[in-house]
Amino acid sequence: MYDLIVIGAGPGGYVCAIRAAQLGLKVACVEGRETLGGTCLNVGCIPSKALLHASHMLHESHENFDRMGLTGAKVKVDWTKMQGYKAETVSGNTKGIEFLFKKNKIDWLKGWASIEAPGKVKVGDKVHEATNVVIATGSDPAKLKGVEVDNAGGVIVDSTGALSLPKIPKSMVVIGAGVIGLELGSVYARLGAEVTVVEYLDEITPGMDAEVQKQFQKILTKQGLKFILGAAVKSAEAAKGKARIAYSLKKDDSEHSIDTDCVLVATGRRPQVDGLGLDALGVQMTDRGFIKIDEHWATSVKGVYAIGDCVPGPMLAHKAEDEGMAVAEVIAGKHGHVNYDVIPGVIYTTPEVANVGMTEAAAKDAGRKVKIGKFPFMGNARAKAMMQADGFVKLIADAETDRILGCHIIGPNAGEMIHEVCVAMEFGAAAEDLALTCHAHPTTSEAVREAALACGDGPIHV
């Protein structure tokens, strides 16, 4: 008999299991994959960042090394070796979780789970009992009507297939200008593919600050990505190692097609709850197929909780991790807490794009009077030395109280820099608090301080 069985060992599930064990509970975690770590470690965050890193290095060597006085033979790509580097990065991390499970005395129940009744989890032929069950089964790529994904074929693929293509395609069409489409589209553009992104909406990265969207699209276009916006994909068909994509433009309903070597379908993800037996158990779901939870991550069935990508909210590893820790605290009789207003989002392209809190439009829609402090990386010495001075920091503060409401960064190290704003927001800081904080020189973080100064008497370096 366990105190807790967690179903799914992604960032939500494995973090929940570890925290619960640290709090003294007897814990098991069920995982059907061969390795722990879920989507994120196996076919998501980690392998994509390995390919982004390697392809960024290649791009630097081709585009910037010579300008820095680094000359020599042109660096070439060994795709098999790059895949090996990616696999090693993944296995280093998944084995790390296995070690942490052993260290914390968490039983890994190998196989696919279903919930027979509250407190009864079936894995294979065996039913395990627990006082509490946490569902952390994550998400899968969403299907697109008229487009059949075949990852093994390597022509029409989703993100999982795109991480392991048999060869670098000469051309690629990405359906969807969201995070996955732009990260993996960037990888293949840097590796030499001609990449065209077809997006249904009139702008890229829906939900992001409008100024960042425009600048981001401009920079990616400069890097060679082509964009077809306001276009609804109707079908994609594979034949003889190639594919034809048909789409219509929303503005005039005109029909078009593109022939390409590879199609990446990146039109979002959907919660993965099949086979768990939630219907029979009476677990209430939302209209969009997510598990309904209350403010303590409890489902409608007593003793059954849910976290991560299978519940509403941003589909991000760190959001899942935070919920994992919080629900473990709740189950252990403590106070779990997640501040959903301060969850950063990062796109790991070059430059990186990072945000936290409200966009300018959202703040205004909510009836807030705002001050905007903007600072371009052109005025930042470190960014210039790194040859990455495109982009800016945009800080949004309440016009009356000066309290920070949000921050949007496009530029070098944006994904690291955003955290000083997250901490400031957690402490309820004003823009002036950031402006008065000494920042080391020369760092890209100085741009955040300058944006905060821009909310007051003005920045120094523009």
Q: Evaluate the CA torsion angle 79, 84, 90, 92 in order and state its sign.
A: negative
E strand residue ranges, 167-212: 171-175, 194-198
C-alpha–C-alpha distance, residues 3 and 315, integer Å: 27
DSSP 3-state of 143: coil
Q: Which of residues 182 and 316 has its CB atom nearest to ligand FAD in the complex?
A: 316
Pair 96, 110: CB distance under 8 Å: no
The interface partner of residue 458, options being ligand FAD, ligand NAD, none and the CB cut-off 5 to 8 Å by kind, is none
175 binds, among ligand FAD, ligand NAD, none (CB under 5 to 8 A by kind): ligand NAD
Our answer to whether residue 441 is catalytic in this structure is yes
Per CB under 6 A, contacts with ligand NAD among 121-160 are 144
Binding residues for ligand FAD, rule: CB under 6 A, are: 7-13, 30-33, 38-40, 44-45, 48, 112-113, 136-139, 159, 180, 272, 275-276, 308-309, 315-318, 320, 348
Among all chains, which residue has been given the structure tokens 């993996």? 184
Measured from the CB atom, the residue of 12 and 391 that comes closer to ligand FAD is: 12
- Residue 232 binds ligand NAD, judged by CB under 6 A: yes
Using rule CB under 6 A, residue 176 touches ligand NAD? yes
Residue 32 touches which of ligand FAD, ligand NAD, none (CB < 5 to 8 A by kind)?
A: ligand FAD
Which amino acid, 367?
G
Query: In one letter, which amino acid is 96?
Result: G
Which residue number, 168 or 246, has a Cβ lying nearer to ligand NAD? 246
Picked from ligand NAD, ligand FAD, none, the partner binding residue 158 (CB below 5 to 8 A depending on kind) is none
CA atoms within 13 A on the CB side of 6: 36
For 462, the 3-state DSSP assignment is coil
Sequence-distant (≥ 6) Cβ neighbours of residue 3 within 8 angstroms: 20, 25, 26, 27, 130, 131, 132, 331
Query: Of the candidates 308, 171, 314, which has an alpha carbon nearest to the alpha carbon of residue 245?
Result: 171
In this complex, which beta carbon is closest to ligand NAD, that of residue 282 or of residue 314? Answer: 314
- Report the nearest approach of ligand NAD to the CB of residue 119 (Å): 32
Partner touching 169 among ligand NAD, ligand FAD, none, CB below 5 to 8 Å by kind: none
The number of beta carbons lying within 10 Å of the beta carbon of residue 172 is: 27
* Smallest distance from ligand FAD to CB 309, Å: 4
User: Residue 63: CA atoms inside 13 Å, Cβ hemisphere, count?
Assistant: 16
Catalytic residue positions?
A: 441
Footprint on this chain of ligand NAD (rule: CB under 6 A): 144, 175-181, 183, 198-201, 206, 232-233, 266-269, 314-316, 345-348
